[in-house]
Amino acid sequence: MKISRQGLPILGSPRYYSSYQLSEKSDVFSFGVVILEIITGQPPIIAGPEGGHLKQWVNQKLSRGDIESIVDPRMHGHYDINSVWEVTDLACRCTDDSSPQRPTMSAVVKELEESLYLEISTERPSANFPSDVSVIEMPSIADTPESGPIAR
């Protein structure tokens, strides 16, 4: 984990901190951290003996093949393990230290849509989730032209 001159952990894209230039890829990095926060229920910096940057914590667990230990316990097992693997893999690719290795935001959206459909198609019908994917109307931005950061 990189530490700023003020002694605070650096949470953003490594390239941003070396160049101070925001880009789509630095946005993808930040979005990947948000995805990891959602999956794990953990903050970006984890306190305690296994602490550190969330990305490192997740990578340690995944290196042991232990996906279930990273999923927010409040999910109570109500998820498709394959879609969790896919979204976690996507988040890890988004937070790759090398910005050229990160996916584009449109690729991220497309993969998230695919994972959502996988999750819905394997979900048991319940009052909380529709059993038919056609019930969910999600506008896709995956087909929109690529553009850089909107406002900085």
What distance in Å separates the CA atoms of residue 34 and residue 112, rounded to the nearest whole number?
13
Per-residue model confidence as pLDDT tens for the chain (152 residues): 444 444 444 455 555 445 556 678 889 999 999 999 999 999 999 887 777 899 999 999 999 988 999 999 999 988 888 889 999 999 999 999 988 999 999 999 999 999 888 888 876 555 454 444 444 454 454 454 544 444 43
What distance in Å separates the CA atoms of residue 103 and residue 61, rounded to the nearest whole number?
22
Provide the residue count of the chain.
152
Tell me, what's the pLDDT at 55? 93
Tell me, what's the pLDDT at 78? 87
Tell me, letter by letter, the H, E, C secondary structure of the chain: CCECCCCCECCCCHHHHHHCCCCHHHHHHHHHHHHHHHHHCCCCEECCCCCEEHHHHHHHHHHCCCCCCCCCHHHCCCCCHHHHHHHHHHHHHHCCCCHHHCCCHHHHHHHHHHHHHHHHHHCCCCCCCCCCHHHCCCCCCCCCCCCCCCCC
What are the residues whose beta carbons fall under 8 Å from the beta carbon of 25, sequence distance 6 or more? 13, 15, 99, 100, 102
Please tell us whether the domain made up of 24-124 is placed in CATH 1.10.540.10.
no
What distance in Å separates the CA atoms of residue 34 and residue 32, rounded to the nearest whole number?
5
